[in-house]
Amino acid sequence: RLRSAPVTVRFVTNTTKESKRDLLERLTALGFDIAEHEIFTSLTAARNLLEQQQVRPLLLVDDKALPDFRGIGTDNPNAVVVGLAPEHFHYEMMNRAFR
């Protein structure tokens, strides 16, 4: 019914554990009729902000989320993006983030 209605359809989530592409594959496998451009995640919001502010982040996100940041410069970081990534929360990485 939504597809035939005169409305824009978006799927919004606050997940930071997986890329938009992985989420698309999972939702499609569950039977959702969905296109990648219809998904908006917190990672999408973070990427948009990084591009607007033209900063270079240290990405403290799960490795599965990294594809959503392709093309974003991360050399000599001057910002930090934090997502659900317990494997990256250790002394060395936290020290880098604080610096």
Q: 61 near 40, Cβ under 8 Å?
A: no
Query: Residue 79 domain-assigned?
Result: yes
Helix locations, the chain, DSSP H: 20-29, 42-53, 91-98
CATH code where residue 24 lies: 3.40.50.1000
Query: Residue 6 domain-assigned?
Result: no
Query: Residue 42 domain-assigned?
Result: yes
pLDDT by position in tens, the chain (length 99): 888 899 998 999 999 999 999 999 999 999 998 999 999 999 999 999 999 999 999 999 999 999 999 999 999 999 999 999 989 989 999 999 998
SS3 14: coil
Q: What is the pLDDT of residue 1?
A: 83
